[in-house]
Structure 1
Amino acid sequence: MNHDYDVISAARNWITDPTQNATPQQIVTEVFGSDVLTLDQLKARLSKPVYRSLQATLERGDTLDPSIADTVALAMKTWAMERGATHYTHWFQPLTGSTAEKHDSFVSPAGDGLAMATFSGGELIQAEPDASSFPSGGLRATFEARGYTAWDPSSPAFLMRHANGATLCIPTVFASWTGEALDNKTPLLRSTEALNKAVTPALHLFGASEGTRVGSSLGAEQEYFLIAEEYFYNRPDLVMTGRTLFGATPPRGQELEDHYFGAIPDRVLSFMTDAETQMYALGIPVKTRHNEVAPGQFEIAPIYENSNVAADHQQLIMQILRNTARKFGLVCLMHEKPFAGVNGSGKHCNWSMATDKGENLLEPGATPDKNLQFLFFCSAVIKAVDEHQDLLRISVASASNDHRLGANEAPPAIISIFLGSELTEILDRLESGQGGRGPEAGFLGLGSSVLPPLPRHAGDRNRTSPFAFTGNKFEFRAAGSSQSISMPITVLNTIVADAVSALTADLQAKLDSGLAIDDAVGEIVKATYSKHKRIVFNGDGYSTEWHEEAEHVRGLLNLRTSLDAIHHLTDAKNADLFSKYGVLTDRELAARQEIMYDIYFKTVNIEGETTEYIARAMILPASVKYLKDLYGAGSSKAVKGVIAEVEAAADELYEAVGALYTQNQALGGEEVHEKAHHMRDHVLPAMSAVRVAADKLEKVVAEKHWPLPTYRQMLFVK
């Protein structure tokens, strides 16, 4: 073959790494959490007064006492160095959507040619990375470089290991010199506090004890693709953009439905085991792994934990998957739609609210129709989602997610809630004044005496719903696979806090008027559901009938593209909401809108220029070379027919590339939102025209001349 890549070597080029193998007993007793500085480990290293002070911050939200910082820092340094760490870093999440770190050594010169290991409380609490090169959306000028990272004690420090040692990572927030949030973690922490302040007064009305704290809990599923690295590095589009900008549909995709939950290939299973062992050491509670629907697609899912820690863990999961894949001759693709025509990848955020005692506030129990507390909080979620459809859509907006939403098991851009048949019936009966519930779900008979009867769930699942109740939580399915989950959860926390606050005030007023709590909650749930039930939809979210009904009958928003959505971020109602709960100031909100426009523009701009390059420098020359072979192959009817077909497609490609070049040069204006709209309205259609012509050529140009690994190779060689 003339290509640098080879199908056979791609299939054979992998190894296992036995250094990461651990027995089940070792994982439970030795590995899990071994690279995390837990509270128990700190307790053993700190004096009782210092530990109690730190515990008050972590468990009750008290302000951190700076006087304990030196003692905590010494304990951290000792723990980390005992485990091989030579450096430490403030690990933070700038508005790029990824993580950032600047490593400093524990080793400091002590004079006379000597050195000592130092790490002070000041270095623990605060660092000063250069803020000028991170996105700020206008909050900081380029010449204004000062920014601060500040220790987040609610997320434990951990070790990130590499081949020659380890680094102590200290989760931090990132703020400007003026105190404005330049990261994703700060608003998430603020929204968690807003949720706590909104929900605890409601719980007190339901009889909860004083001092109860509430937070959101999260388990975020992660979908991803794996391809052989031989193919990845021979695809400039994958290297530069994370997705294939070209690729004819192969004879076989996912239509046989044989990949989903199928046997995991040994190479992939070895990779998964290695990655999971690293995650266990970091205390990440990964639980599930399986083949996803598309060939070459997989999923990993953790169980629930505090949302702030879960968001940190999600960033680590993506990093570990990417790094570990390379050890097995694979590349992990996190893009929402790396391959056209098959399932894209999402990040399903399973969200709920829980007290510090472990009570799940969205647990319906055995008799949900009588569970007043559950019905109250469930109604608040319904109200929140209906009133803030735009914010939920904005929270998952990106150029890459636009390719995914609306098909192949991804939810549509229209936000709706799936409640399931039982919960919908309970709320319908409450609204009509009947109360109670319908027949019990009972058991599912399987038709054979040797098989056990299975309890039937109260409702089916809906894979086309963007926001689905799944038994004791809501699953927000619209988040993209590559994005940080901090923004979606920040939005969820804030809008639910607002809804709970409004319903709590209503409940308090009814109780003050002498109404019994049962009657008061019943009236609130009935009124709330009646007003907001337009957002509830249990049917097929893909159907054209639903889109027509949602938009024109129910009046729901249909923000089809990210730019349709981002426009609404700074609407007065949204600015007022975030300001009211202290989650984002007007300037911080406007900055995030500017950054979203900028990232959209740059993403599509890179794709447009990469498309032009590949078409000009790789596909057109390959087609011309094939034509040269054909011109010397005689004058048979077959040869003439193939020549005509290749010439027509090559001419079409040449014309399309010229049109794309014109749009790539234009940019659309001076302002970033103008550039973003130019990318959507002109560059993306021009790219599509180039792809159509190129994909025609892929189907007729001889394989030995084709310059790119094909879908057939990339999706099925494992």
Structure 2
Amino acid sequence: MKKTERINKNTRYGLLAFNRNSMRDKLPQDVYFSLMKTIENNEPLNPKLANAIAHGMKEWAIELGATHYSHWFQPLTGFTAEKHDSFLTIDLDGEVFERFSGNQLIMSEPDASSFPSGGMRSTFEARGYTAWDPSSPAFILSSDTGATLCVPSLFFSYYGEALDEKTPLLRSCDALSKAAVRLLCMLGKAEITGVDPMVGAEQEFFLVDYELFKQRPDLLFCGRTLVGTQPPKGQQLEDHYFGSIPQKVMEFMETLEDQATLLGIPIKTRHNEVAPQQYEVACLHEHANIACDHNLLLMELMRRSAVEHGLKLLLHEKPFVGVNGSGKHNNWSLRDSEGNNLLDPGSDPKANMQFLLFLVAVVKAVHDHADLLKSSVASAGNDHRLGACEAPPAIISVFLGKQLDEILCKIERDEVHYQSSENFVDLGLSRLPRILIDNTDRNRTSPFAFTGNKFEFRAVPSSIPLGFPNSVLNLAVADSLNQICELVEINLKDSENEQAAIMSTLKHFISESKPIRYEGDNYVDTWHKDARERKLSDSNNTPSALLALSSLSSYTLFEKYGVLTRAELDARYRIKLDQYIKQLSIEANTLLHIMKSYIIPACLRYLNINQVPDSCSENVKACYKSVDEVLSELLNHSEILSKNLSHIDT
């Protein structure tokens, strides 16, 4: 693509997405406004409008080269799924034409028996449904030879059980909105009709040469190296982070950004990460539902773009030992229907009662449901990353920054005479203006940090969908907001002073959630002891972390807000545990294959070629002996590994 074609992205942004501009162009005015009302007010779609919407969507897609359509959904595999049907239709007279009906838009019927169901469905119970999600724009995925209209959809069983990532996410967004509006109404904000969780994801990844990748069975089958040795130079010089992006990688990123721009994915930042061959792209904040869709779509675009440039994308959390792993920082905030960020402290956080209430609600949510948040990000790959000195530890805690932490402490002690002041830093350079210090520093070791006007959930692994972590976070905050509302109502009965009732509520929940707040270095050994004294969860592996999904408190929380039933939650526990076991089994079998097919034969060839005569020096004999000892150890370990694998039913 010519550089002149890449200059102005404003005219190309979202050209392959059926967004509001496309809808306005292709739909009758009354249909367009009815659809907007459906999306904005979260109302059911009028079935009478479905045919008109489907026709407009089809005409738009055909103009852009689409010949097929697909319900694009997110089964519990960690990937997206799609089945393509053509627009081609033949009437009774044998005439061929293109058609896309309202029924085809609203619902489709893929085979549900081959997707994970966690025991909710038997193999012979194959019927499943996908249903159109009007709130997420349809889009067109193109190849060199054609294009397909993709319709973001929910996926559920014949009996209505949620079998996907999107359904609980949408339910959690609704629960959060209702709870937030309830609190805002108590604060006199009756004009607010809804509150949306906003998400901006930072996607980390590795890129390696495709030809070299094909020579590594462990990378091919497992996404990470299982054997090898560290190179003399890794990341010791700290020269890769924010360094000059290599030409080949820059070309990959430019291709990726072009494709993302056309699909309406708002990539904002690109840069080198800490480890060699590690990079990051970050997106602007969007509604959580759309952001989660876009992140999955972005990962697919990254895979395609990498191949185009002779590269292989590695999304594993720890593909190489000895260098940093990859995560997906989940930047989360709240936006009301007037466009205000409810987590923006303004110029004086102490005086911003609304901000403090929402801030404390999030802190309380993490305190009450830290184990559930940990379970939402638990995976075999993330076990290798969390707790290493390049990622957050397995202990969930919240970092607020010095100023906010002091304010909460003073409220707890009934000392609310805090005077906010502007703090400036002098760089010693007269030609630069003084720089205002932010109210919060950046604690890169914290798994859940407040970063000025949002929270950054850093424990999310790089390879998984964002749906479930955000479902849990939304739900936890919704529950906290409702508890705050209930206590404010109780306190108002004892005091006619609304501000006093709110301050009393804040004080109670600040004190209750204090153990989860930690302003120090999460990497130091003393933090583990401190966390135990605070009674914080310290589950450091996936099986133990997943137990939170099957706890009575989790069942109660999810069912209270209608996000997931007990059966649906149990299914997710079984699916995640099954995926963990299978992943480790694949890695063990791959390691055994490498040992038997590559390493042991190499040792045998060395020993056979280098027969050591008695006349050789002691050093040569020692070298020969060391190889022989390594071979014996490898044979012993391979035998043990084979026996252990024979007991695993995959």
Q: TM-score, normalised by structure 1?
A: 0.88
For the residue of structure 2 that corresponds to 1:567, the secondary structure is helix
Structure 2 unaligned residues grouped into runs of 5+: none
| 1:349/1:477 contact within 8 Å kept | yes
Q: How far off its partner does 1:565 sit? A: 1.0
Match of 1:447 among 423, 428, 433: 428
Match of 2:347 among 341, 358, 366: 366
Amino acid at match of 2:591: T
Range that drifts further, 601-610 or 37-46 = 37-46
* Structure 2 residue 285 is the aligned partner of structure 1 residue 304: yes
Q: How far off its partner does 1:358 sit? A: 1.2
Match of 1:389 among 361, 370, 373: 370
| 2:592/2:642 contact within 8 Å kept | yes
Range that drifts further, 492-501 or 242-251 = 242-251
For the residue of structure 2 that corresponds to 1:22, the secondary structure is helix
> 1: CA distance between counterparts of 2:23 and 2:299?
28
* Structure 2 residue 202 is the aligned partner of structure 1 residue 233: no
Q: How far off its partner does 1:468 sit? A: 0.3
Counterparts in 2 of 1:495-506, with a 5 A limit?
495-506=476-487
Match of 1:148 in 2: 129
> 1: CA distance between counterparts of 2:4 and 2:258?
7
Match of 1:679 in 2: none
Match of 1:479 in 2: 460
| 1:222/1:299 contact within 8 Å kept | yes
Match of 1:414 among 375, 389, 395: 395
* Structure 2 residue 577 is the aligned partner of structure 1 residue 597: yes
| 1:355/1:361 contact within 8 Å kept | yes
* Structure 2 residue 573 is the aligned partner of structure 1 residue 587: no
Q: How far off its partner does 1:452 sit? A: 2.5
Match of 2:263 among 259, 282, 290: 282
* Structure 2 residue 610 is the aligned partner of structure 1 residue 630: yes
Counterparts in 2 of 1:527-538, with a 5 A limit?
527-538=508-519
Deviations 1:421-451 (A, max 9, x none): 0100111111111114356252111112123
For the residue of structure 2 that corresponds to 1:568, the secondary structure is helix
Q: How far off its partner does 1:159 sit? A: 0.6
Amino acid at match of 1:104: D
* Structure 2 residue 442 is the aligned partner of structure 1 residue 423: no
Match of 1:555 in 2: 535
Q: How far off its partner does 1:137 sit? A: 0.3
Match of 2:413 in 1: 432
For the residue of structure 2 that corresponds to 1:293, the secondary structure is coil
Q: How far off its partner does 1:357 sit? A: 1.9
Match of 2:544 in 1: 564
Match of 1:42 among 23, 48, 53: 23
> 2: CA distance between counterparts of 1:122 and 1:439?
58
> 2: CA distance between counterparts of 1:229 and 1:45?
42
Amino acid at match of 2:66: A
> 2: CA distance between counterparts of 1:475 and 1:581?
24
Amino acid at match of 1:382: V
Q: How far off its partner does 1:28 sit? A: 1.4
Match of 1:620 in 2: 600
Counterparts in 2 of 1:64-463, with a 5 A limit?
64-110=45-91, 114-210=95-191, 212-437=193-418, 440-463=421-444
Structure 1 residues 20 and 38: CA distance shift in structure 2, 3 A: farther
> 1: CA distance between counterparts of 2:270 and 2:495?
53
Percent of aligned positions with the same letter in both sequences? 49
Structure 1 unaligned residues grouped into runs of 5+: 1-17, 676-718
Match of 1:526 in 2: 507
| 1:160/1:169 contact within 8 Å kept | yes
For the residue of structure 1 that corresponds to 2:34, the secondary structure is helix
| 2:242/2:273 contact within 8 Å kept | yes
> 1: CA distance between counterparts of 2:89 and 2:401?
61
> 2: CA distance between counterparts of 1:347 and 1:598?
23
Deviations 1:70-114 (A, max 9, x none): 000000000000000010000000000110000000112235553
Amino acid at match of 2:514: K
For the residue of structure 2 that corresponds to 1:523, the secondary structure is helix
| 1:441/1:457 contact within 8 Å kept | no
> 1: CA distance between counterparts of 2:422 and 2:608?
70
Match of 2:496 among 515, 525, 530: 515
Range that drifts further, 441-450 or 534-543 = 441-450
> 2: CA distance between counterparts of 1:485 and 1:624?
47
Structure 1 residues 210 and 458: CA distance shift in structure 2, 3 A: closer
Structure 1 residues 438 and 465: CA distance shift in structure 2, 3 A: farther
Match of 1:542 in 2: 523
Range that drifts further, 200-209 or 94-103 = 200-209
For the residue of structure 2 that corresponds to 1:288, the secondary structure is strand
For the residue of structure 2 that corresponds to 1:461, the secondary structure is coil
Q: How far off its partner does 1:356 sit? A: 2.2
* Structure 2 residue 445 is the aligned partner of structure 1 residue 464: yes
> 1: CA distance between counterparts of 2:542 and 2:354?
36
Match of 1:715 in 2: none
Amino acid at match of 2:5: A
Amino acid at match of 2:29: K
CA RMSD of aligned residues (A): 1.5
For the residue of structure 1 that corresponds to 2:271, the secondary structure is strand
> 2: CA distance between counterparts of 1:499 and 1:269?
44
Amino acid at match of 1:145: A
Q: How far off its partner does 1:628 sit? A: 2.5
For the residue of structure 2 that corresponds to 1:284, the secondary structure is coil
* Structure 2 residue 6 is the aligned partner of structure 1 residue 23: yes
Q: How far off its partner does 1:42 sit? A: 1.1
Range that drifts further, 477-486 or 622-631 = 622-631
Match of 1:689 in 2: none
* Structure 2 residue 619 is the aligned partner of structure 1 residue 641: no
> 1: CA distance between counterparts of 2:251 and 2:458?
28
Deviations 1:23-44 (A, max 9, x none): 322x112x21111111232123
Structure 1 residues 436 and 623: CA distance shift in structure 2, 3 A: farther
Structure 1 residues 501 and 594: CA distance shift in structure 2, 3 A: same
> 1: CA distance between counterparts of 2:380 and 2:387?
14
For the residue of structure 1 that corresponds to 2:10, the secondary structure is helix
| 2:184/2:192 contact within 8 Å kept | no
Amino acid at match of 1:418: F
Deviations 1:52-75 (A, max 9, x none): 221121011111111110000000
> 1: CA distance between counterparts of 2:554 and 2:266?
34
For the residue of structure 1 that corresponds to 2:554, the secondary structure is helix
> 2: CA distance between counterparts of 1:395 and 1:141?
25
> 1: CA distance between counterparts of 2:492 and 2:25?
48
> 1: CA distance between counterparts of 2:494 and 2:633?
75
> 1: CA distance between counterparts of 2:10 and 2:37?
29
> 2: CA distance between counterparts of 1:407 and 1:509?
45
Structure 1 residues 494 and 328: CA distance shift in structure 2, 3 A: same
Structure 1 residues 255 and 21: CA distance shift in structure 2, 3 A: farther
Amino acid at match of 1:604: L
For the residue of structure 1 that corresponds to 2:385, the secondary structure is coil
Deviations 1:332-353 (A, max 9, x none): 0000111111111000000111
**Which aligned segments of 4 or more residues in structure 1 are displaced greater than 4 angstroms?**
none
Range that drifts further, 68-77 or 103-112 = 103-112
Q: How far off its partner does 1:453 sit? A: 1.6
For the residue of structure 2 that corresponds to 1:403, the secondary structure is helix
| 1:425/1:438 contact within 8 Å kept | no
Q: How far off its partner does 1:258 sit? A: 0.7
> 1: CA distance between counterparts of 2:585 and 2:353?
52
